[in-house]
Structure 1
Amino acid sequence: MTMMEMWTVIGFVAQGLFFGRFFIQWIASERKGESTVPVAFWFFSVLGGSMLLLYALHQRDPVFIFGQAGGLVIYLRNLMLIYKKTPLTAETK
């Protein structure tokens, strides 16, 4: 596998994780019968966003870099707020 192919795979995996967060949110909302954002949404946001940031840095795309870096701050802050409120007992479904 060439380096270019490897980065393309990384980009697709990252985008899949990032999309997966919406799928998780949708399933959780359907189960609960109302709109909800489960903790797993934020973990997928951090993981997918981090991988997309690496991909954007590799591509040297300042718009993409700025968007992902800003998003990561928000995702991490949400996790901090969740675990500050209920340490070690936050729902992860």
Structure 2
Amino acid sequence: MLERAIAWYQSQSTADLIWVGVGFFAQALFMMRFVVQWIASERARRSIVPDLFWYFSIGGGILLLAYSIQRGDPVFMFGQGLGLIIYFRNLYFVLNNRRNGGAAGTP
């Protein structure tokens, strides 16, 4: 298995390897939203969706969309594109609520 991984690595161009790095970084950002949500929920002893969840969602979603476009994966493009609409809309609600004097976002 290690030999296959080495062979794959050696067959990739520098640009392809950079995009793989972008993909891994994007996936890490995307995963962090769940870590943030889990920690906030544990602290509150109830389910919480902190504002930072939406920022990680948008950051990871944008990079994953760019990665999927570069890779030419229409299923991945559709999923990330639709997700970004939802993430931006939720962040709009959070910021609009705060601007109108509503309670600040959750921890």
Alignment TM-score, normalising by the size of structure 2:
0.82
1:1-93, aligned counterparts within 5 Å?
2-87=14-99, 90-91=104-105, 93=107
Q: Note the C-alpha offset of 1:91.
A: 3.4
8 Å Cα contact 1:46-1:72 kept in structure 2: yes
Alignment TM-score, normalising by the size of structure 1:
0.93
CA distance in 1, matches of 2:74, 2:41: 34
Q: Look up the SS of the partner of 1:19 in the other structure.
A: helix
8 Å Cα contact 2:37-2:48 kept in structure 1: yes
Paired letter, 2:95: Y
CA distance in 1, matches of 2:89, 2:55: 11
Larger Rg: 2
8 Å Cα contact 2:94-2:105 kept in structure 1: no
- Between the two structures, name the one with larger relative contact order (CA 8 Å, sep ≥ 6): 1
Identity percentage of aligned residues: 48
Structure 1, gaps ≥5 residues long: none
Aligned pair count reads 93
Structure 2, gaps ≥5 residues long: 1-12
Q: Note the C-alpha offset of 1:73.
A: 0.1
CA RMSD of aligned residues (A): 1.7
8 Å Cα contact 2:48-2:106 kept in structure 1: no
CA distance in 2, matches of 1:80, 1:55: 25
